[in-house]
Amino acid sequence: MKGIVFTEFLDLVEAKFGLEMVDKIITESNLESNGVYTSVGTYQFSEMLQLLQHLSQNTNISIDDLLLVYAEHFFAVLAESYPGLIDSYKDPIEMLASIENHIHIEVRKIYPDAELPNFEVIEKTENSLVMIYKSSKSMHYFGLGLMNKTFEHFNSTATIQLEKIKKDGTEVKFIIQKN
Ligand code: HEM
């Protein structure tokens, strides 16, 4: 997992819960990196999982809810870092339907070692989209947060339903209806 995902996560933890919480979750985790991340480095996903688990235990907020809030913050980071990529779209449905064939392809050019999910478009109309998310990382709530912010970015809203295809969240159907 790319370092930018860790550095932005820890910045958000500090902003919301304070530096003591950052220190606490790093100390409670068993991290090969020792909790020292650079945005361009690459680190084990298991480190993110441990940080999330300990933050969840210490705050009583579920990992899904933490991922949702974190994704909403991360969208702003992406929008600032890669404005050209998002500005090439005029419509949120078009943008979300292009994650697999355009957006994450461009991401891979910037970060060849990025570990990206797979999004398969099943059905698409002007105002609706059905996609299947597949990833060993089960970060579907991270995807949901990014989708919410994608609609907001285009001054729009949507109703998004998640249906787990696999219990562990490695395969999830997203049913997206623009309001
Ligand atoms: C992961 C970039 C838009 C879904 C990532 C990662 C990057 C990235 C750098 C981390 C990869 C790693 O750590 O190895 C971008 C950029 C975007 C964009 C630059 C737009 C300009 C989106 C959107 C979605 C999305 C709109 C909506 C669903 C995800 C998910 C992950 C991810 C779910 C977590 C990894 C996983 O589940 O396997 N993306 N992304 N991305 N992205 Fe995107």
How do the pLDDT tens digits run along the chain, 179 residues long?
999 999 999 999 999 999 999 999 999 999 999 999 998 899 999 999 999 999 999 999 999 999 999 999 999 999 999 989 999 999 999 999 999 999 999 999 999 999 999 999 999 999 999 999 999 999 999 999 999 999 999 999 999 999 999 999 999 999 999 99
Give the list of residues 6+ apart from residue 42 with CB closer than 8 angstroms, or none: 1, 2, 3, 113
Q: Which domain holds residue 49?
A: 3-61
**ipTM of the prediction:** 0.93
Do both 74 and 127 map to the same domain?
A: yes
pLDDT score for 4: 95
Pair (16, 55) in one structural domain:
yes
- Burial of residue 84, with CB atoms counted within 10 A of its CB: 0-12 exposed, 13-18 middle, 19 or more buried: exposed
Which domain-ending residue is among 46, 61, 76?
61
Residues 102 and 165 in one domain: yes
117 and 33 inside one domain: no
Domain count, the chain: 2
Residues 87, 153, single domain; the answer is yes
State whether 37 and 71 are in the same domain. no
CA separation, residue 159 to residues 23, 103, 117, 132 (Å): 37, 22, 22, 16
- Testing ligand 1's pocket by substitution, the residue of 116, 135, 141, 174 carrying the most ligand atoms inside 8 A of its CB is 116
**131 touches ligand 1 (CB under 6 Å):** no
Alpha-carbon span 25 to 9, nearest angstrom = 12
Q: 29 CB less than 6 Å from ligand 1?
A: no
Choose one of 19, 35, 61: the last residue of a domain.
Answer: 61
Q: Give the pLDDT of residue 40.
A: 86
Judgement on whether residues 109 and 42 belong to the same structural domain of the protein:
no
The confidence score (pLDDT) of residue 70 equals 97
